[in-house]
């Protein structure tokens, strides 16, 4: 091999302290951006202790639709219970960019502290999320595996629907997004189930099922959670039990609603190319 070519090959080899980073895939890039946005939020409890809510380290769901929209779903906890659920999502904005939206819904039974969102809104729910007892449900089992089986059976008694150029019945994902509970607390067990549209796996409605300690013993409670700005409703055993109309954000940028969603920012469609280490840059002739 000619000496000049050999020298150029040696220069092109990465050094041990300047190794080239592998290129980031489109999915990895999007998920990293979603996590970065989620980690910026500092939600706080609305009680006297004013504790910061804890972000679950990994998204509880990653979803995608066939129109090139995708997102990650995150949960923020307070004292072992989910207090806020949110989705960081993005879709096409021309050929070079994506528009990013943030959506949140309160899960706590009491309002949380006011929070400044990256959507340039102030979110301070006026009330907590109401749970309703399921009076005709089977008695909660004594162990966690059996209760999970019961929650899956109960979730199939509910159907979620959405208005989108016609009425659609959403598809239930039988595996819960998130499981929680404390045998020594008031909420012994709980799970979040998602209902998705046929276009992909975007969760449009969430069903919260919980096993609570009551004066009469353990009991099952439920709470529907909207995760769409469209009109959505829920039935149990063919009877409508809940409905919310199309969502509109308040015009004054302050919202006291349980649910909020709005545009947050625009991001490049693809990750910027990684910079090559200095050892890989060939000298110009």
Q: Cα–Cα distance between 193 and 173 in angstroms, integer? A: 7
Q: Cα–Cα distance between 141 and 135 in angstroms, integer? A: 15
Q: Cα–Cα distance between 54 and 80 in angstroms, integer? A: 9
Q: Cα–Cα distance between 227 and 91 in angstroms, integer? A: 17
The 3 state secondary structure assigned to 185-204 is: CCEEEEEEEEEECCCECCEE
* DSSP code at position 209: E
pLDDT in tens, the chain (285 residues): 455 444 444 444 454 555 555 667 889 999 999 999 999 999 999 887 779 999 999 999 999 999 999 999 999 999 999 999 999 999 999 999 999 999 999 999 999 999 999 999 999 999 999 999 999 999 999 999 999 999 999 999 999 999 999 999 999 999 999 999 999 999 999 999 999 999 999 999 999 999 999 999 999 999 999 999 999 999 999 899 999 999 999 998 999 999 999 999 999 998 877 655 544 444 454
* Per-residue tokens: 149: 């089986």
| Buried-exposed string 204-220: b where 16+ CB fall within 10 A, e elsewhere | bbbbbbbbbeeeeeebb
Please name the residues in contact with 276: beta carbons below 8 A apart, sequence gap of 6 or more: 20
């Amino acid at each position: 091999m000619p000496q000049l070519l050999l020298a150029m090959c040696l220069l092109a080899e990465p050094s041990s302290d300047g190794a080239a980073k592998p290129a980031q895939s489109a999915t990895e890039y999007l998920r990293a951006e979603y996590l970065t946005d989620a980690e910026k939020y500092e939600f706080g409890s609305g009680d006297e202790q004013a504790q910061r809510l804890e972000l679950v380290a990994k998204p509880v769901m990653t979803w995608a639709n066939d129109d090139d929209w995708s997102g990650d779903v995150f949960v923020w906890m307070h004292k072992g219970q989910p207090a806020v659920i949110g989705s960081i999502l993005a879709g096409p904005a021309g050929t070079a960019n994506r528009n990013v939206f943030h959506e949140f819904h309160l899960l706590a039974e009491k309002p949380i502290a006011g929070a400044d969102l990256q959507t340039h809104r102030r979110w301070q729910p006026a009330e907590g999320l109401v749970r309703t007892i399921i009076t005709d449900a089977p008695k909660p089992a004594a162990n966690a595996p059996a209760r999970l089986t019961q929650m899956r059976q109960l979730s199939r008694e509910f159907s979620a629907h959405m208005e989108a150029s016609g009425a659609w019945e959403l598809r239930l994902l039988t595996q819960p997004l998130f499981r929680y509970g404390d045998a020594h607390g008031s909420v012994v067990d709980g799970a979040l189930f998602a209902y998705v549209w046929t276009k992909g796996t975007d969760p449009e409605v969430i069903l919260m099922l919980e096993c609570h300690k009551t004066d009469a013993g353990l009991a099952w409670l439920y709470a529907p959670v909207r995760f769409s700005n469209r009109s959505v409703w829920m039935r149990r055993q063919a009877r409508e039990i809940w409905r919310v109309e199309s969502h509109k954000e308040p015009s004054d940028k302050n919202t006291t609603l349980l649910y909020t969603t709005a545009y947050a920012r625009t991001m490049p469609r693809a990750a910027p190319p990684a910079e090559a280490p200095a050892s890989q840059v060939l000298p110009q002739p």
